[in-house]
Structure 1
Amino acid sequence: MKKAAITVLCVALLLALIAGCGSEPTSSINNGNTSKQIPNLAGEWKQTNSKSKDSYQAASINGNIIEIYWISNNGDTKSLYWAGSFVAPTTADEPYKWDSENDHSKTNNAMLASSAGTKTITYQNGILSYEASALGTTTTVKLEKQK
């Protein structure tokens, strides 16, 4: 009887260990460090480094598409700047960079859109960043995800 109880207990412990090994923890502490999750970049983003309250850039990531707009007049005016591919991160490693391929079928007729074939976009510490050029001036745009 004792031998059967010990065997059942060992099998239960073994099954618990196997089940625990297959699951991904939401966060774990390893030598005082919290493990990072793969970031979910889908959603709405707003520029944090604009010099104007009512003119800025905003982005929307949905599926495998990112669209970036020039926003003015406190949001009443929206002009397409970029429409391109989005490749979601597969690890939590930062910085995360991807080269977005321009969807010229959307940007060719947009007056304020970039004509570049690709745009390198970086995600690090909760911020998306990329270079934007207009009228001979290039700036690094920084966007933060909206809640």
Structure 2
Amino acid sequence: MKRLTIIIFSVLLLITLFTGCSSKLTSSEKQVPDLTGEWKQLNSNSEDSYQAATISDDTIEIYWVSDNGDTKSLYWAGSFIAPTTADKSFTWDSKNDHSKTDSAMLASQDDTKTMTYQNGVLSYEVSIMGTTTKVKLEKQK
């Protein structure tokens, strides 16, 4: 009788352990991405010149960076709308803060800029002297 009780208890314990483990492995809840922090351009043609962004609260600021980070010039200062769902992609229209960009020589004078976040990459278009390119940034750890 004692032996049967130990066997039953052991089987129940194993079932409980395996059921708990398997449910944890299969139930991967998607989380809303946190975009706040520092971002750096992935697709720059130069190692010492690129764009970098800082997202905090409800603002995004993007800079032209050169001289290995020694020189920074404002490109964009605008609104940031954080994602509220865990969708695969997220897009928002950032409104330019002209009080910051109007006096910056290399800043965009556009009223809005469409920003997209997808698969860990933040992207937007930059136009200079008739040439438009898509800039892609990744969050820095």
How far is the alpha carbon of 1:83 from its aligned partner? 0.1
How far is the alpha carbon of 1:94 from its aligned partner? 2.1
> Are residue 81 (structure 1) and residue 78 (structure 2) matched?
no
How far is the alpha carbon of 1:38 from its aligned partner? 0.1
Q: How large is the RMSD of aligned CA atoms in angstroms?
A: 1.2
Q: In the TM superposition, what are the counterparts of 1:14-93 in structure 2 within 5 Å?
A: 29-30=26-27, 34-93=28-87
| Higher alpha-carbon Rg | 2
How far is the alpha carbon of 1:28 from its aligned partner? 6.9
Matches of 1:48 and 1:58 in 2, distance apart? 10
- Segments of structure 1 that go 5 or more residues without pairing to the other structure are 1-26
How far is the alpha carbon of 1:29 from its aligned partner? 2.6
Give the match for residue 104 of structure 2. 110
* Matched residue type, 2:68: N
* Matched residue type, 2:26: I
Task: Give the TM-score of the pair, scaled to structure 1.
Answer: 0.77
Question: Is the CA contact 1:102–1:116 (under 8 Å) kept in the aligned structure 2?
Answer: yes
Matches of 2:114 and 2:26 in 1, distance apart? 33
Deviations 1:41-99 (A, max 9, x none): 00000000000000000000011000000001111110000000000000001210000
Number of aligned residue pairs: give it.
118
Task: Give the TM-score of the pair, scaled to structure 2.
Answer: 0.81
Matches of 1:51 and 1:75 in 2, distance apart? 15
Give the match for residue 134 of structure 2. 140
* Matched residue type, 2:138: E
TM superposition outliers: structure 1 runs of 4+ over 3 Å: none
